[in-house]
Chain A
Amino acid sequence: QSVLTQPPSVSEAPRQRVTISCSGSSSNIGNNAVNWYQQLPGKAPKLLIYYNSLLPSGVSDRFSGSKSGTSASLAISGLQAEDEAHYYCAAWDNSLSGVVFGGGTKLTVL
């Protein structure tokens, strides 16, 4: 059972938009920034969004992040086949004094 809650899977057609939610509490998302990671099949994770909504250099602007209260979300627009991956949210948890991850969401592009 992960501290941050994500849907196990989402699916959408190419060129459409999908959102992935990440729910936490006041000890993590409510008071700390959320970061998102993309893990392509068989690959190491890669930073996708940092500090809630910022894009690292080289990441497509089809990806966007937001945070409100104790929840965050990742949106992907103009879905492409290469977006098929697992997506993880993460945040610092003040009660645990450590970084906690969501359980991950598998995105399928239909």
Chain B
Amino acid sequence: EVYLVESGGGLVQPGGSLRLSCAASGFTISGYWMSWVRQAPGKGLEWVASIKQDGSEKYYVDSVKGRLTISRDNAENSLFLQMNSLRGEDTAVYYCAGQVGPTGWFDPWGQGTLVTVSS
């Protein structure tokens, strides 16, 4: 069975930082691009960032450039998202997902972790 399990979400004040993790089991992330996709409460899906198998290429949505950083540890079979200078509009459920190439589809998906940015 394939599992992606996100952790690290929680309540943080505006301007604060948080580090999300995504641990994979039954799925070897080293063979895939990996991505973060978020969903604000009651809203649709928004792609956030993607990273190549060896970490040499990264893509970000404009609204998070310079504030959020995607990284991976293939030895630990884990994906990360370092979130700095957080804003209210970053409040969302963050999903990690495997991706077949930067332009490809997302599969599998984790269950998500909620990040709430509020004072």
Chain A interfacial positions (CB closer than 8 Å to B): 2, 32-33, 35, 37, 39, 44-47, 50-51, 56, 86, 88, 90, 92, 96-104
Contacts and interface: CB of A to CB of B under 8 A. Distances in A.
Contact of B44 (A35, A99, A102): A102
Interface residues of B, number: 24
B50 A99 contact: yes
A33 B103 contact: yes
Contacts of A33: 103-105
Nearest to A94: B103
A37 B59 contact: no
Given A44-B95, A44-B111, A99-B50, A50 B105 contact: yes
B112 A44 contact: yes
Given A101-B45, A101-B47, A35 B111 contact: no
Interface in B81-106: 95, 100, 102-106
* Interface SS majority for chain B: strand
Interface of B: 35, 37, 44-47, 50, 59-62, 95, 100, 102-112
Nearest to A51: B105
B47 A45 contact: no
Given A92-B103, A101-B47, A103-B44, 5 more contacts: A37-B45, A44-B109, A45-B95, A47-B109, A98-B60
A93 to B, nearest CB: 9
